[in-house]
A and B are shown apart, each in its own frame.
Chain A
Amino acid sequence: DAMVIQNPRYQVTQFGKPVTLSCSQTLNHNVMYWYQQKSSQAPKLLFHYYDKDFNNEADTPDNFQSRRPNTSFCFLDIRSPGLGDAAMYLCATSRGFVQGARDTQYFGPGTRLTVL
């Protein structure tokens, strides 16, 4: 089945130690998104790639970076994780936005990050 895959499902890192989360998709979608979801809160968009174009949300901390080496893969890099970065990180994909048209985002299962 076509899907959005996130590895690992659980990641533990140390305070200040860089960490990379990965996402892959078999849907051949143009857009890949990263969301952060803290405990008991709603998902919050960090940034997205439309093809190779990176689009950062205004309130995303500089500590968070992303790479998309090809259509299928996208990575979330946290340069110096703090305790406040512990959260579920969700990857989503969609075909892409066309003015006025429908577009659906499909989410992966998420990676739960623990910072010690």
Chain B
Amino acid sequence: DAKTTQPPSMDCAEGRAANLPCNHSTISGNEYVYWYRQIHSQGPQYIIHGLKNNETNEMASLIITEDRKSSTLILPHATLRDTAVYYCIVRVLRSNDYKLSFGAGTTVTVRA
């Protein structure tokens, strides 16, 4: 089901920006890219999503390439509390609804 590819893990220094890449080369023109994160033993937390244009909110920025085949989630100033599994998800459209198919995600460890 998963239509995204992410590195399995990455480390980041506290206070620095964390750039999380995601490949979604088979994405269709009307499919959104969503990012969630899951801190250990908690439910997934919504971060951001976008279609074509770059997006920014209070948590992060989402940069989507012009061909939409890849994107990057940017956490501008990582803190220890940002340590989590980050999921890049393509929202798959179906006949009358959609599905978020979670892939393996990237385990991000923020180090002091």
Could you tell me which A residues sit within 8 Å of B by CB distance?
4, 6, 42-45, 48, 50, 55, 88, 90, 92, 97, 100, 102-110, 112
Contacts of B87 in A (CB 8 A): 42
B89 closest partner in A (C-beta): A42
Q: Contact between A110 and B42 (Cβ–Cβ < 8 Å)?
A: yes
Q: Contact between B32 and A106 (Cβ–Cβ < 8 Å)?
A: no
Q: Contact between A105 and B100 (Cβ–Cβ < 8 Å)?
A: yes
7 cross-chain CB contacts under 8 A: A50-B97, A55-B97, A102-B32, A104-B46, A107-B43, A110-B42, A110-B43
Contact of B99 among A45, A90, A104, A110 (CB under 8 A): A45
Q: Contact between B44 and A43 (Cβ–Cβ < 8 Å)?
A: yes
Q: Contact between A97 and B97 (Cβ–Cβ < 8 Å)?
A: yes
B49 part of interface (Cβ distance < 8 Å):
yes
Q: Contact between A90 and B98 (Cβ–Cβ < 8 Å)?
A: no
Q: Contact between B98 and A42 (Cβ–Cβ < 8 Å)?
A: no
